[in-house]
Amino acid sequence: MTALKANAQPALKRRWVLELGLSAAGAAALIAYGSGASFRQDYVVLIATYGLLALGMYVPFIMSGTLSLAYNAHLGVGAYAAGIVSTKLGWSSLWGIPVGMLIAATVAVLLGMATRKLTGFYLAGVTLLFAVAFEVFILNQVNITGGPSGMPVATPSIFGYSLSRYEIMVAIVLVMWIVGLLLSRLREAPFGVIVRLRKEIPEAVEASGVSSAAMGLIALGFGAMIASVGGSMFAMMGRVAQPESYALHIIFLAIFMPLLGGQKSPWGAVVGAVVVVVFTFELQIVAEAGTLIFALAILLVLRFAPGGILGIGDQLKNFTAKRKRRVEAA
């Protein structure tokens, strides 16, 4: 056993080094792309926001097997927290990040406790109703949220220094990169293993003395906090929190981002976010058909590459190995 662990250590170290290098290169490429025109910075921030949204959903949905459709609310909570603390309290909008994380986690846990006996369609239906209720709330509560016009968000500042749009863009990309690295490590840590076992073999988790329900609530709260950070920083970039930015269609995009990119790694969620933005916002050649093409891409990936885009390499490797064995057998 000791020998196996010793042999596994170098391979694991090489894997982490490779992951660190590739992910850092991807983050640097996004920052470099956003160093040009202002509209490029908006695209990069949108990619990073969707990336944080997908990473937030990765924890409860992919790892824990709990499907919540309230992620537009978690994004919105982060955005409006930044608006409220900056315009109504006079604080730096950066305080909206921890405040939004706390509120989003509390909402997610309370919603999880209220729906703990529901599964499948019923769980999805109830959380979707909450998402609709949140959208109605921010539209109707004009005194709190500004209603349809939205709420202004002050320029984030640190000790009197106001961050530029470029600096906000760099910050959100770095946050997404750090969260991705942490989730990748967390997935293999004892906590991550227990969370994944809860999805596959909940009886084993309970037999080990760990409450499966409690782990599910922790996963929901953790995912909500990550999504709220994206909402806060997106609002800081646009200087406003608007209802249409947190509409229901975001939920359905968020569900398929990790499935499209690949479920075996949190980076699949980020890859899925990039694909979403490219196909639905940036490619002029697909224009109005972007969402339709994205839907077709999802169908093709789920049909021919169940492991997602990041799993295509493994599929090709397995196919080559099988073909080699057939040739040798012949």
In whole angstroms, give the CA distance from residue 95 to residue 44.
23
Q: Over the stretch 40-50, which tens digit does the pLDDT of each residue have?
A: 899 899 999 99
61-70, 85-94, 108-117, range with greatest mean pLDDT: 85-94
Q: Give the phi and the psi of residue 241 in degrees, each rounded to 5.
A: -110, 115
Only one residue has tokens 């290169």, namely 25
DSSP alpha helices (H): ranges in the chain? Answer: 2-33, 38-57, 71-87, 96-114, 120-140, 142-145, 165-188, 190-200, 202-207, 212-238, 249-261, 267-277, 290-304, 312-329
165 or 324, which is more confident?
A: 165
Share of the chain above pLDDT 90, in %: 35
C-alpha–C-alpha distance, residues 132 and 65, integer Å: 22
Question: What's the farthest any 2 CA atoms get from each other in the chain?
Answer: 76
d(CA 100, CA 77): 6
CB 225 within 8 A of CB 61: no
Angle at 59 between CA 56 and CA 61, to 5 degrees: 100
Structure confidence by residue, pLDDT tens digits, 169-180: 999 999 999 999
Question: Which pLDDT score, from 0 to 100, does residue 261 have?
Answer: 84
DSSP state of 60: I
pLDDT band at residue 81 under the 50/70/90 scheme: very high
What is the predicted pLDDT for the residue at 31? 94
**For the chain, first and last CA: distance in Å?**
37
Nearest to 215 by CA among 190, 195, 241, 199: 195
Closest to 57 in 3D by CA, of 251, 201, 211, 241: 251
Which carries the bigger pLDDT value, residue 28 or residue 324? 28
What is the rounded distance in angstroms from the CA atom of residue 216 to the CA atom of residue 109? 9
Question: What is the pairing mode between strands 161-162 and 240-241?
Answer: unpaired
- For residue 8, name the pLDDT band (cuts at 50, 70, 90): low
Residue 3, pLDDT above cutoff 70 = no
What are the tens digits of pLDDT across the range 90-121?
Answer: 899 999 999 999 999 999 999 888 887 776 66
* pLDDT at residue 147 is higher than 70: yes
What is the spatial distance between Cα 54 and Cα 226, in angstroms, rounded to a whole number? 9
Task: Give the pLDDT of residue 9.
Answer: 67
Report the relative pairing of strands 161-162 and 157-158 from DSSP bridges: antiparallel
Sign of CA dihedral 84, 88, 92, 98: negative
The average confidence (pLDDT) of the chain is: 84
Higher pLDDT, 32 or 283: 32
Q: Which two tokens stand for residue 167?
A: 């600096």
Specify the pLDDT at position 291: 61
pLDDT at 39: 86
1 — pLDDT class (breaks 50, 70, 90): very low
Instruction: Tell me what pLDDT residue 178 has.
Output: 96
> Distance between CA atoms of 169 and 23, rounded to whole angstroms?
17
Taking the C-alpha atoms of residue 154 and residue 162, their distance in angstroms, rounded to an integer, is: 10
Q: Judge whether 239 and 74 are in contact, CB under 8 Å.
A: no
For the cut 80, the answer to whether the pLDDT of residue 270 exceeds it is: yes
pTM of the predicted model as reported, rounded to 2 decimal places: 0.88
List phi, psi (to 5°) of 157: -140, 150
pLDDT at 4 over 50: no
- Give dist(CA 182, CA 187) in Å, integer: 9
Helix (H, G, I), strand (E, B) or coil at 152: strand
Convert the pLDDT of each residue in 182-240 to its tens digit: 999 988 888 888 888 887 787 777 777 788 888 888 889 999 999 999 999 999 999 99
